A = this chain, B = another copy of it.
Amino acid sequence: MTWTQPFAADSFPSGSGAFPHKHLLGIAGLQKWEILYILKEAEQWVALNRSGPAKHDGRLSGLTIINAFFENSTRTLLSFEIAGKRLGADVVNMHAAQSSVKKGETLIDTAMTLNAMRADAIVIRHGSSGAVQLISSKVDCPVINAGDGSHEHPTQALLDSLTIMRRKGRVEGQTVVICGDVLHSRVARSNLFCLKTLGAEVRVVAPPALMPSGIEAFGAQTFTNFDAALDGADVVMMLRLQNERMQGDFIPSPREYFHLYGLDERRLALAKPDALVMHPGPMNRGVEIASNVADHVERSAITEQVEMGVAVRMACLDILTRKARGQEGWS
């Protein structure tokens, strides 16, 4: 499908245009039309955010959104906080550093506490895969996964696909290369699910020790040679190298890593001439990506990704709270 054309009516289940999920725990399990539904909805928020300084919509007025971040993440937290506030919600942040979790409270008790305070949506970041799903099973309101362990980070994948759609016109048929620590990356997992569902060809590139076994079953082509993977690529998506992997068994040294798996100008030239450069941020310049590539005026979509992030999160908060607000279907 092309982004610029209106969505065909038959892309949606007959009789209903409503989003059929209570939570957004991951991309796995979402149908193509459901992903497109969110991306389509996000477009109005891109427009609102660009409309000028007074970029407010009151539809979540009176709702309480709790951002429960058990892992630090400035960007994602800021993005969700801004998204909720622009929709008029009361946004409350719960930081792990000040949390009862340190007092030994179980995750379930924390979930039940947030629920008893009558949250209308809970956004959760947690270091353990599955923690967000566990919480979602104990609360009445929608839960949005803002990244859990090495499991999923669905809003990141959604904003990445929205960025590709807007820059390339479509996701279907694009050749997307994802390079880095695929093994530990929830960004890679969510993007693989999202891009495959939308019809892209996905190539994953990683050092052998950081390539998950069996990833081919999810539709990925695997490469250990970055240069070979770049041939014919429409999009090059770099993963952040976590500091804790930079020393020791996985990575010999940041310099060596850059030599083998960093994106520099020479490598970018191996992709298609108009290939898009993406990175979820924050970047380690000179480790996984060269500065001049990251800052490339025409090719880099990195700051656009950040912008799309706010819009996608506004869409998710709006869509998932519609049922409680007595709204249904397209806005």
Among residues 69 to 105 in chain A, which have CB atoms less than 8 Å away from a CB atom of chain B?
A: 72-75, 77-79, 81-82, 85-86, 90, 92, 94-95, 97-100, 102-105
* Residue in contact with A86 in the complex, picked from B90, B243, B306, CB distance below 8 Å: B90
Interface of A, secondary structure class, is helix
Among residues 100 to 115 in chain A, which have CB atoms less than 8 Å away from a CB atom of chain B?
A: 100, 102-106, 109-110, 112-115
Question: Is A52 an interface position by the 8 A CB rule?
Answer: yes
Q: Determine whether the beta carbon of B78 is less than 8 Å from that of A118.
A: no
Q: Contacts A77-B98, A117-B310: A109 and B281 contacting too (C-beta < 8 A)?
A: yes
Task: Report B-chain residues with C-beta under 8 Å of the C-beta of A281.
Answer: 100, 105, 109, 113
A49 and B324 CA atoms in complex are apart in Å by 14
Q: Determine whether the beta carbon of B64 is less than 8 Å from that of A115.
A: no
Q: How many copies does the complex hold?
A: 3
Q: Determine whether the beta carbon of B79 is less than 8 Å from that of A118.
A: no
Question: Is A55 an interface position by the 8 A CB rule?
Answer: yes
Q: Determine whether the beta carbon of A53 is less than 8 Å from that of B104.
A: no
Question: Is A116 an interface position by the 8 A CB rule?
Answer: yes
Among residues 245 to 289 in chain A, which have CB atoms less than 8 Å away from a CB atom of chain B?
A: 281-285
Task: Report B-chain residues with C-beta under 8 Å of the C-beta of A82.
Answer: 64, 90, 92, 117
Chain B nearest Cβ from A241, distance in angstroms: 10
Question: Is A54 an interface position by the 8 A CB rule?
Answer: yes
Task: Report B-chain residues with C-beta under 8 Å of the C-beta of A40.
Answer: none
* Residue in contact with A81 in the complex, picked from B50, B86, B92, B99, CB distance below 8 Å: B92
Chain B nearest Cβ from A239, distance in angstroms: 14
Q: Determine whether the beta carbon of B61 is less than 8 Å from that of A118.
A: no
Task: Report B-chain residues with C-beta under 8 Å of the C-beta of A61.
Answer: 54, 56
